Copies of this chain bind each other. A is one copy, B any other.
């Protein structure tokens, strides 16, 4: 580190250089994040110095967090759910499995999740010392309830349902999982990090939330389809005592205990989530989801003309395309400045159609992809 500081202009110039190396979202189909809503950015800046981990001082922030959880709870059919604004899906998933572990107290604990579940469940397993068991999926890429049942044993602390898989955007049969959880007296966590702000606005209804009696907790990320500023996840639980189970004492703070993972944490992120939800309402959120779905369908239609078809029927704005010569096409897309990714099993071209994507980009992308396929194959 230099002895002397730099001028503000000098620092800004360095930052601009770095920013120019970041790929802007315009041609990004590989991310579940997007450009935050302007109202989120405004709110973030209003609370930029706020520490939500110190609620005795930041009482207004605390109130916003309570109201935010109520808003999200309402969306998930439990207005009086407990919870907090976390740093994202990984923290929420980890905390949910931690709750299940602390409640069940098994010597060699395990939990069961679809093989399509996010890699954060591997992380959570390692961190918590809990075995992560992966259940098979059916042909439609949702979890096979029979496989889940087979993996459950006396050391199982909980099961997980995915409401919007990262790779294929599919929705597990959460109603079946709910029944199973109730029968087996297991904690059921729903990873709706992506789908939480999508599924409630789909024409077809998929039961996935607290409406199902067996659902114990839900992860839902405002910094994905909730148009908020990173870091903003959500962890909601049905029973207050499950969350309280995570509490540790917090001497020398303005509160007495803490169940969040972080100590100091962004109050600004909370304000941003609150602002977006208030500003958009259900109608605004639905409109954003509707637009993404329309563009997804448009892309599917355009690709059918090149005889390229989706893997399964897309349920939301996550699309896997069966592309011939996948590796070569993938490479060529990146070369042309398209950020895309691949699914693993089955292997396919993975596209997330986030709110930063528009019609012109869909047209340009499908033309590029179509041409590539014609040339490469």
Contacts and interface: CB of A to CB of B under 8 A. Distances in A.
A3 to B, nearest CB: 5
A15 interface: yes
Interface string A233-272: 0000000000000101111111000100111111110010
A123 B264 contact: no
B25 A49 contact: yes
Nearest to A25: B49
Interface string A12-51: 1011111111110100101111111001011111111111
B252 A341 contact: yes
A308 interface: no
Interface residues of A, number: 113
A375 interface: no
Contact of A282 (B2, B64, B223): B2
B262 A87 contact: yes
A314 interface: no
A5 B46 contact: no
A335 interface: no
A283 B2 CA distance: 8
A167 B19 contact: no
B57 A28 contact: yes
Contacts of A44: 48
Contacts of A343: 252
Interface in A76-128: 87-91, 94, 98, 102, 118-120, 122-123, 126-128
List the 8 closest pairs (A to B, CB-CB), nearest first.
A21-B60, A5-B281, A18-B60, A129-B129, A22-B60, A90-B263, A5-B284, A21-B59
